[in-house]
Amino acid sequence: MMTFLPNLDDLTLQQQVAQMVVVRASGFLFDHEIQYPIWEPPAATLRHWVEDLGVGGVILLGASAGEIALRTQQLQSWASIPLLICADVEEGVGQRFSGATWFPPPMSIAEVAKRDLPLACHYAEHLGRITAAESLAIGLNWLLSPTVDVNNNPDNPVINVRAFGETPEIVSELAKAFIRGAHQHPILTTAKHFPGHGDTAIDSHLELPVILHDRDRLEQIEFPPFKAAISAGVDVVMSAHLQIPALDPNYPGTLSAKVLTDELRTNLGFEGLVTTDALVMGAIANRYGTKEACVLAIEAGTDILLMPLEPEKAITAVCEAVESGRISRDRIQASVERIWRAKQKACSIALPSEEGYVWENPPEPVLQTNQLTESIAQPEALTINAELLRSSMRSHHPNPSRLASLDGVGRNLIIVDSILDCDFLGRTAPAIALPAQFGFTQIEIVDRHTPHIDLNNRDSSPTLLQLFIRGNPFRGIAGLTQAAQDWFTYLLKTNQLYAIALYGSPYVLDRFIPSLPSDVPYVFTYGQMREAQAIALESLFAKQSMNF
């Protein structure tokens, strides 16, 4: 059955507003595998939202790349109007969906840019191109990337290594390169989080950050990467759930006409789609609730309401605001017209026909397995990923090495935020298997759920300390956990620290180095996935083996 974009005049007010709503869904096909039931509806509810309400898009999380390919086909088959289907794939498709290419976070490219900006732009362009290609292969047509915030606050718990750097110049160049690469394919790109989320120590998933910078500072640091992204043709700009009194003393950016209309539309001249960040986040949901937040966001100038907790109530509230005269019908139609233009690009919509806009290349009804396996995690992508991991790695290999004098059984101490969420660890993971070849066979894993241990009553063992620490949403902190700090101090005090492997945040490494003895080797990598573990540990132990 051919699918069409209808003429806007043929849609009811409710249908037009529904097109402005993007709902959250699990990537898993079966209800019993849903991981976040508060946000992810069962299949029957999701189908109702898509088929009956006619929501405009879906954001996915979880499952393998192969299952997502089936999921996106299912979703499009339910929709009478082609859907925008998106995901937060800032580090490649494999970041969210197993089996696809998982790159290190964008700040790894900024590390390369410090010494070789053209090479860094080369990597950023490949990141955009490969992420776009693999996304399209599994049915995603909208990238929620690149992040163009300037992360100039080391304590930033929500942006951190997701940023393309700490200066507007580097962030601007790498963002443009990413967009240039992604736009080699018919996919939407997103610059986020306007007007700039890089200088806050509060996670907007939990609370509302307030940034007290004046306008001159915003013009110098926060705005330039957005200007660069707009000049590069970015399709969407995502708002930030934070308040900047210099721009609007009353409302956070997501709900502020002064930010989204006056600054973004008028001053920066952006003509594409404006989307909110997820409306379930605490900075908005805890203060305004679903209904009022959605109405305020549209009044402010947004086109897409991303992840309202209760989509039906959101649609009803906006319709009531139109019917009461609070929001004009022209305002709704202007947003839907922009959505239509985006869908013409992302959903392969042909020119108008007598029946409306026809969907030129609808998804095949049956998953083409060969096409999928020939598009995901191809040798070129894996090679570029390994090159980037090596190019951005930092290490210290003193000579002679303490590892060369390992006597007896060593402890492999791994500290993570939550072992329950570590898909990158397992029996065969390099962080487990590779150190054992060098005598570190006593494995111990500690996370924030581990009961407090009296470190003074422990056996003494030469220890390889491996830390997986980076800023992550909902964690609330970007740096060392208390457990990590306690163990580091204890191992130093008792002279048990033989080497460190740190995965994730360079800011944690910077805090370690001043108190780290010069004869202790270390390796740092931005990645936490298995490829990063293997490359980092092979470097660490290969260098030490040369000293045996």
Residues annotated catalytic, as ranges: 205, 277
- Two structure tokens written together for 167: 């200066």
Q: Which residues lie closer than 8 Å to 242 by C-beta, 6 or more apart?
A: 193, 197, 200, 204, 208, 209, 210, 211, 252, 253, 283
Q: Is 415 helix (H, G, I), strand (E, B) or coil?
A: strand
Concatenated DSSP letters of 494-510 = TT-EEEEEEEE-HHHHH
Among 534, 537, 538, 529, smallest CA distance to 101 is for: 529
- Distance between CA atoms of 170 and 117, rounded to whole angstroms? 8
Q: Considering Cα of 283, then 288, then 291, then 292, what sign does the dihedral take?
A: negative
CA-based angle 62:68:74, to the nearest 5? 120
Residue 449: phi and psi, rounded to 5, are -90, -10
- Distance between CA atoms of 31 and 521, rounded to whole angstroms? 47
Eight-class DSSP state of 455: G
| CA distances to 247, 256, 318, 321 from 299, in Å | 16, 8, 10, 10
Among 306, 289, 399, smallest CA distance to 85 is for: 306
- Two structure tokens written together for 496: 């048990």
Q: Is 292 helix (H, G, I), strand (E, B) or coil?
A: helix
Tokens 């009961």, residue located:
451
